[in-house]
Every structure is written in C-alpha cells, then in structure tokens.
Structure 1
C-alpha cells in the first residue's frame, strides 16, 4: 500500500487520516460542529470524533497488515486520541515559533519518498490516485510530519547535554572504537584462476591481471571504463564500509593505500584481484575541505512572505554588485543575529556542517565571488567565499561522532519527557 510510504518516526507507526480520506485542510470549528462531535479540546483548538475514527481505520489496516492482533477498541481509541493531542500540541508550538517548510524542501521530501519506492513523481501521483488518496492531501500530510519533526529536533536536542567525560568514555570503549574506525570506498576486478591450475596458466592469468591494472591506471580510465572493456571478469564496488565489512583478503593492502592508489596484485584461491582505494574517511586522518564564508540571511516572517524575502535579498545583491560593502550590509540587514556583529562572517565551515542548498552554493562559488540569492530552510541567503583550505579534522570528527551517537541514544528518553511536559503545560480535555 502507498500509505505505508508515509510512516515516519514522528508518528511512531501511525499514518494521518488525511492519506485515506483525501482531506485537503482542517475544517473550521463551526464546520466541525455541524458534522460530528468534539473528541478533545487542546488549548484553543479541537480534535473531532471523525478525525479519531479516520486515524483508527488507518492504524487497524497497519496492524492487520503486519499480522498482529488488534487491541481492544477502547484501548486503541484512547491511544489514537493521545497521539492526535500530542501532534496538535507540537503543531501549535511550531506555529508560535514560526517554523515553516518551504516549497523547495517539501518538493525534495516528496521526491525522496517517490525515489525510495522506485517511482517518478508522476508514477507516485498515479499510485496515490489509484488508492483513492488526493496528491495535495498527501503533500499536506508530509509537510505536517516535517513540521513536527523539526519541532522535536529543535526542542529536544537543546535539552540534551553531552559532557566531555561522556565523550571520552565512549571513544575509549570498544563500541566507540568501532564507530570511529576508518571507512573505505573500494573497487576491484577479479581475474579468476583455479587453485589447482598449472603454473603456466597461473602465469598467463597474472599477465592478464597486470594488463587490466595498467589499463585501469591509465589517465582518464575510470572503474566503469575498465569493467566495460574487461566485462568477462567479475568486478565490484563498495559504498562506505568499515574494514570488518570488507573481505579480509583486502585488509592489509588497504591499510597501506592512500585515496586513488592501487594495491599490488592480490592472489587468492580464486584468482588475481586488482584493487583500488577510491576514498577513505575517519580514523586518524580525516582531511576536510573548509571554506571561509560570510552571508546575509533574509527570513520570511509574519509581515513578509518568502517572495518578499527573495526580493529584499535580490536588492541587497544588486547593491553589493554596485559596490556596497558586504560586511556593512550584513551588520545592518541580516536576520542572522549570530553573525551580524561580525559582518555576516561564519568562519571556516565544511559542507557537512551546512544545509544542502547552502553547502552546494558555497562549494560552487569561487574565492572572493558573491553568490546570487538562493533559498534554504532558513530563508534567502547571499554568500561570499573568502578562502579555502584543507584541514585534518580527525579529532573533531571523532568527537562529533561520539556526541551524535550519545545524543541519539538519549533522544527518545528526553523526547518522552518533553512531550509529557508539553502536555502538562497545556489545557487538554478529552470528551469521548
């Protein structure tokens, strides 16, 4: 079922009723009252009995599809009401905090869901329609989940504290050492030869393996080019993998290779292997390309929408092109209060630290060049690249991995604490 595509961690296995019912927006209080009963009041908003029943229908389908027994009706009803109440409280908080999802972000999220299902956007739309789900409703539900997810990340992560002592203990543990061990991307071509082959056959196969290696090493020849030319031989390419997930035959050769290098021919019981290290990261050698960048951010807000924010950014860009000082404009115009005092200077940044649209623009901008305005989840940016350098970030990388792992481990416990506090601080009345 297509509806399964929308199951996300923020729902904990639940799918909003909009996916099955084709509702494009929440009805008004007056319209709701004329249709059915109020199931719950949350501050100044309500949940209707029809919404509860719709969600119950979806969840029942999921439970039965998974082959699990249905809980008693009254238990399931209370669980669904509780879930809807928590969702509504988080959406209310998101509205107060001004959290928004841009069309660009939503489009990308929809595209990702379609891609994971092996579909194009058009195929995805068709599949939804065939199940009776309105595409606009599906987009609305995805957006709802994205908003709730962003609220949780913002609110819960700021509550989680990771001490230096915790990081140190984790890095010294067996689990920590495994997490920070190097990762490799490799490619190899195998020229088969039987372990019982005659010496002259082995010698001939060795010559063939050397021929394959020399061709592959030739400038301009990629792995794809080599495998196409020698398609009679087995070949493989790995995504990022730790040494324990790579054939042990390659352990020792990999330890002595740098990015882009070939190993000596490797002989095994099944033949000769031509091995190339495509890339390496982690361990004690983690070189990161860093960019010195500054920016001006114009955020949409209550009095201006995203199009008006774009127009302001375009006007500032034109002023810079006409000779205005970037730093002075940043101090007076940017909505990024953290960098405003420094003329928009963000310091030395890597792409991994930034949202994708910012990283992509930064990486495609030459030193001293000013980018045209572009949009991210935070608003509209103009950036200028001031310099670039390579830096060994192994120590910082290892600590970041440790903090990220520890934060994920603490997240669910802290999430439940936060949700309970959110509920305790709200006016909630269950009417069913």
Structure 2
C-alpha cells in the first residue's frame, strides 16, 4: 500500500527541532550552522541504499519499505532519541510519543526517497569535495581537523560515521539544487516587478566600504584648540593624498587619532553625518573635513558595490592545463607544464600548444581561450596569477585544485555590470522565495510515485 505522509524533511525538522538553544556548552553538532541538523543525527547509524555507501545490517525489525529499500526500527529509535535530546536541550516540552514517532518516520522516508533519486541521477561526492566540507565544518566550529575528530569521538560518534552523514547531506542538497531549481521558472515581468518594488530597491541599493579618521575635540575646547584640530584634519588629508598610502599606514602615522572602518553598509546604515557625503563620492576618493560635535572627520570611500555603478574588471585570458591522472602524479604533471613553458619562452605558439596538450577539453578547440573572465569566477590561485600577470605576458606554471596551469593575459577592460548585477539579485531573491514551495511539490511527487509501506 501507499502511505500519504504529512511532512517534508524541511517541515519535520522545523516541527521537531526548531527553537532557541539553551545557553552553555553545546554538542559539536549544535555549533555548526551549515550542517546543524546533519551533525545532530550523526550518531543515528543511518546508512545509504546503494553500493557506494555503507550497507544496512538488517539485525532488527523492518520499520518501513521504500521502493526496494528498507528503514530499520533501530534507525527510527536512534533518530527519535537524538531529537528528544535536542528538544529537551532547548527547554521545550516533548510532543506525545506517537506524534514524534510519526514525524521522525516521515523524515526518514523523505530522506531515503531523495537519496534514491540521487543514485538514479548519478550524483556522486568526490573525496576532495567531502574533505573540503569536513574541513569547513571544523573551521566553523573553531577547531582544527584533529580537534574536530576528537570532539566527535568524545560525543560517541566515529569520524568515519560523521563523514558518511555529511556525505548524505551533500548528496541530498545537490539533488535538491539540481532538480528543484530546474523546476523554478522566473519571468522578465517578475524580475522587473521586484526591481520596482520597495523591497527590490532596498536589495539593489549600493553598499559602501568606508575608512575614517577622527581628530577629537572636546566640547570645552578653546577656539585655538578647535582651529588646531581642524589643521590636523587637513594635514591628514594632505598626507593621505600625497602618499596614496593604505589606511593601515595612515592610522599608524597618526596613532593619537581615532580610526576605523565601516564594512559594506547600505546608506541607511551609515551614520547620517557621513551618509550624504559618502553618497556623492567615487571609489578611492577622500572627503573634505567634516565637523561634528565630537571633532573633525576625514573619510575615504574604500569600495562601492551595487546600485547603478557596478564596475567589474575583466581579463581576456587563455591557459594550458595539465592534470595529474592515473599514469602521472602532480610532480610529473608539473614537469610537463615546465617543459611547455620553456617551449613558450623559446617562441612556440600558445594556441597550438594548448590545442595539442591542454587537459581542458572545453577550451582546447579555441587554443586555450577562456574569453573574458572576472576574478570572482575563478579559483583563488588562478585569479591571483591572472591579476598579477601583465598583458601579453605568460605566467610560470602554477597549481590549482584542477592541476598545473600556464596562462597568458591577452586584454583587460572595465565593464559596468550594474544591470546584470541587479537582475541577478532579483532572480536569486525570487528563486529563494519560490524554492521552498517547489521543494514541497517535488517531495510530494516523490512520495506519490513511490511504494511506501510503513510498518510501525
């Protein structure tokens, strides 16, 4: 028979685990926001249904059959126990046992359906991706990887089980992003309506990054002291302009003055005394001296993003990629890249070498040409090398997570991407707003199309 379930995984999690956590030392699971629920269920012993994951051990009674897979009663009990700990830790009362059991059962069923769908879609998580995610979780918890492992063991969870559960969460997240986002349609009319709304205008309003120095003046200061403070403010401006120095160097030059930064704030969140001046300044510009009740101020607009002025620096670049593989390790790949670099230095044609040697099949046909790229689109090592390479210059071989690269910068330009930036913000906001409804629809379809036999 097919059982109609009442909750999606998202709803169930909110129903049975939401609420403020009590103060004091929490479990490691509760400190990791990105995988909060995943880590909370690490000790449940849940396993996956396909051969690439740990096989289930049917040592107890079957709680449910989901298509060709099963959920064991012990899995349900383990999850219930963990959810109870979360609820009690939050200070909330436990729901009736039959309600909690049903909610957990619903959750496990929906998880299993998504994992089965991911298996059919061929979704895999590489060891490199998993290692990076585990490292990020440890970092967000304020721990080294070794400390993270120790904390898991102290909570009774093996590191291997933790990695497996994180892998599950990554698979579920990926299948959701792939399939649910594909179902979401956003029209040009929706984008324009959002951009014209008060909410949209607030979202695309420019943000400012400001550095400031204050020369304090007390309310009881003599006219001479006030005039002296004003001269000091002018001296700050003169030094800042003439030396074109960094804010850190400036602050060190005038240690007796108050200095600080305001990082990425919209105009309504900037002190009103500064807001009008900042809104008329260009990136890198210094203000005139500004008088307030506490003294004199000098501002510098360090950076600006959003609004009608969203300048992106783009680089026309081409590259040759040599990847390590089953027949060569990283050092051997580097040796090949070094040999190609020497040929380029001896006058070989970059495009011809790229066509015949690069492991980037997407750009090989174009002689390694990647087109116009911004640093934000690229992995850090590639972006840094591209930024530091002059026009027509060829970089020495350098390594990224993909292998060994040689790049050549062909051109550079600045492009105002304000319109594209605003539309991207609008689409992202609309997509997030639609995602949960579409997720619920998709999960319900999965349940409607599945064979679900709950035996508890």
Name the TM-score class by shorter chain: 0.7 to 0.9
What number of residue pairs does the alignment pair up? 415
Matches for 1:21-420 after TM superposition, within 5 Å: 28-29=55-56, 32-33=57-58, 35-217=59-241, 219=243, 221-293=245-317, 307-308=325-326, 314=333, 325=352, 328-329=355-356, 346-354=370-378, 359=383, 363=387, 369=394, 374-375=400-401, 384-385=407-408, 386-420=410-444
For 2:23, the equivalent position in structure 1 comes to: none
Q: Residues 181 and 271 from structure 1, CA distance in 2 versus in 1: closer, same or farther, beyond 3 angstroms?
A: same
**Once the 2 structures are TM-superposed, how far is the Cα of residue 77 of structure 1 from its aligned partner?**
1.6
For 1:303, the equivalent position in structure 2 comes to: none
Q: Residues 229 and 367 from structure 1, CA distance in 2 versus in 1: closer, same or farther, beyond 3 angstroms?
A: closer
Q: Distance between the aligned counterparts of 2:337 and 2:66, measured in 1? A: 45
Q: Residues 330 and 100 from structure 1, CA distance in 2 versus in 1: closer, same or farther, beyond 3 angstroms?
A: farther
Q: TM-score, normalised by structure 1?
A: 0.82
> In the alignment, does 2:6 pair up with 1:4?
no
Give the stretch that moved more between structures: 143-152 or 108-117. 108-117
Q: Distance between the aligned counterparts of 1:124 and 1:85, measured in 2? A: 30
**Once the 2 structures are TM-superposed, how far is the Cα of residue 101 of structure 1 from its aligned partner?**
2.9
Give the stretch that moved more between structures: 317-326 or 107-116. 317-326
**Once the 2 structures are TM-superposed, how far is the Cα of residue 267 of structure 1 from its aligned partner?**
0.7
Q: TM-score, normalised by structure 2?
A: 0.78
Q: Residues 362 and 153 from structure 1, CA distance in 2 versus in 1: closer, same or farther, beyond 3 angstroms?
A: farther
Give the stretch that moved more between structures: 131-140 or 179-188. 131-140
**Structure 1: stretches of 5+ with no match in the other structure:** 300-305
Give the stretch that moved more between structures: 267-276 or 19-28. 19-28
Q: Residues 15 and 180 from structure 1, CA distance in 2 versus in 1: closer, same or farther, beyond 3 angstroms?
A: same
**Structure 2: stretches of 5+ with no match in the other structure:** 1-26
Say what the alpha-carbon RMSD is for the aligned residues.
Answer: 3.6
For 2:7, the equivalent position in structure 1 comes to: none
Are the counterparts in 2 of residues 7 and 15 from structure 1 also a CA contact under 8 Å?
no
Q: Distance between the aligned counterparts of 1:161 and 1:179, measured in 2? A: 21
Give the stretch that moved more between structures: 20-29 or 194-203. 20-29
Are the counterparts in 1 of residues 64 and 453 from structure 2 also a CA contact under 8 Å?
yes
SS state at 1:238 partner:
strand
